[in-house]
Amino acid sequence: MNIAIVGGGWAGMAAAVAAAGAGADVTVFEATRMLGGRARALSAERPDGTPLTLDNGQHILIGAYTESLSLMQRVGLDPEHLLLGLPLAMPYPDGLGLQTPGWAARWPAPLDAVAAIATARGWRWSERFALVRASLGWQRSGFACDPSLTVGALCQSLPGRVMDELIEPLCVSALNLPAAAASAQVFLRVMRDALFGRGFGRWGASSLLLPRDDLGALFPEAAARWLARTHGTHARVRLAARVHSISARPPGWRLAGDGWQEDFDRVIWATAASPAAQAMNAAAPVALDAGDTALAQALSGWAHTTASLAFTAITTVYAWAPGVRLRAPMLALRAQPDPLSAPAQFAFDRGQLRPDDPSMQGVLAFVVSASEGEREALQARVLRQAADQLGLSDLRPIQTVVDKRATFACTPGLVRPAAQIAPGLWAAGDFVDGPYPATLEGAVRSGLAAAQAASS
């Protein structure tokens, strides 16, 4: 089987590893000179001139992301070395908030989460019991609900403190939407895996896993080395190789770029949603001209569903000051009545994640999920927020990354594009129909599923 994979992000490289492992000849086409897609390394420079490697957005994993973690291990990486594992915790700068006590850190799910709820600092017992009752109710219902429900409607009986300090930040970090707009059905799937699912290795399902290394080193670059080392000429990764068109070439497909064209038995299209929709929309008239009406309809229908997705932005503000150190590697930040005055939900201390790297000391990352506004204004507001909530008035900006199409808007009743586009042609990406929102785990699972289907 000769399989082409268009796109070298996490979904595409997951598909490549799985397809090669199943015995297929694999060729990955990546339009840029760097693997990783929207989760890749980023070269930057501190205000004092020190070069450093950041990411094109701060990411976080959890112990329930078993497919991503297993895939890292498969390509020769040690997740426990590359990720800092923390018990479930969302501490605020004042020390309040949800935190799993040390004595319960290794308890199996969901006992670790119950311990965190029972000892949440600043919470009344009535608030703790209300969350436990709600969680048990979700479990009894099989973590299913009416597809039309929002997270806000699902949790309307919970106390305000629980909503403000746990549900809202969890929802906006996992689904990149506020609770009032986010799909309760997808939120419950994430909660099911995090609270009652299985973890990985010594990590529980709800463990927070913070990358110590850049996102390129975390999987895609290692996957390319593994393909070359274990499959030689049967697995090729071509950088700076943009695919301009795809057309049916029975019994397979033809890809074409600048001055080249190649035929493949099967294709996995693993780019972001917008270029995927454009490519399929452009291929539909070609199929129609060739007399294949059914194929033309399949391509245009899939393209229409994909192009109909709405997207939300994520902004990461990197800043630095000599000697800065947060009280924990990750802190939750408090929302304000005026969201514009405190846009960031989380702050990460990159120096604590990389204690062996002098360039990272004093480097912080502030994450603004569901962000709105222009880069300069967001950066200024986040720096004011850092001064107000963390007492850090001397931070200087390094770089602010705004990904305006970071995630699809995971709203109630959303119809996502199917994994199979047409016979012999599949899609892979975090936007493809599946149980997870737009996360690294969602991208990896879609890549693995596409590879399994294409290799059979």
Structure confidence by residue, pLDDT tens digits, 309-332: 999 999 999 999 999 999 999 999
CATH class of the region 41-70+311-408: alpha beta
Q: What's the pTM?
A: 0.95
- Please confirm whether the linkage preceding 47 is cis (ω < 30° from 0): no
Query: Using CA atoms, how far apart are residues 204 and 43, in angstroms rounded to an integer?
Result: 33
- Least reliable range by pLDDT among 96-105, 318-327, 359-368, 428-437: 96-105
Task: Please say whether the beta carbons of 93 and 121 come within 8 A.
Answer: no
Query: Using CA atoms, how far apart are residues 259 and 133, in angstroms rounded to an integer?
Result: 63
pLDDT of 218 above 90: yes
Question: Do the domains 2-39+217-310+415-455 and 41-70+311-408 sit in the same CATH topology, yes or no?
Answer: no
- Mean pLDDT score of the chain, rounded to an integer? 94
Round to the nearest angstrom and report the end-to-end CA distance of the chain: 9
- Token representation of residue 228: 């070359």
The predicted model gives 176-191 an average pLDDT of 95
Q: How much of the chain, in percent, has pLDDT values that exceed 90?
A: 86
Query: Using CA atoms, how far apart are residues 40 and 221, in angstroms rounded to an integer?
Result: 9
Structure confidence by residue, pLDDT tens digits, 190-203: 989 988 888 999 89
Structure confidence by residue, pLDDT tens digits, 126-171: 999 999 899 889 989 999 999 999 999 999 999 999 999 889 988 9
CATH architecture of structural domain 2-39+217-310+415-455:
3-Layer(bba) Sandwich (3.50)
Residue 403: what pLDDT? 94
| 437, burial (CB in 10 Å: exposed 0-12, middle 13-18, buried 19+) | buried
The predicted model gives 222-247 an average pLDDT of 97
Task: Please say whether the beta carbons of 353 and 61 come within 8 A.
Answer: no
Structure confidence by residue, pLDDT tens digits, 270-296: 999 999 999 999 999 999 999 999 999
Structure confidence by residue, pLDDT tens digits, 73-123: 999 999 999 999 998 888 999 988 888 887 777 777 777 788 888 888 889
What are the extents of the domains in the chain?
2-39+217-310+415-455, 41-70+311-408, 88-206
pLDDT of 335 above 90: no
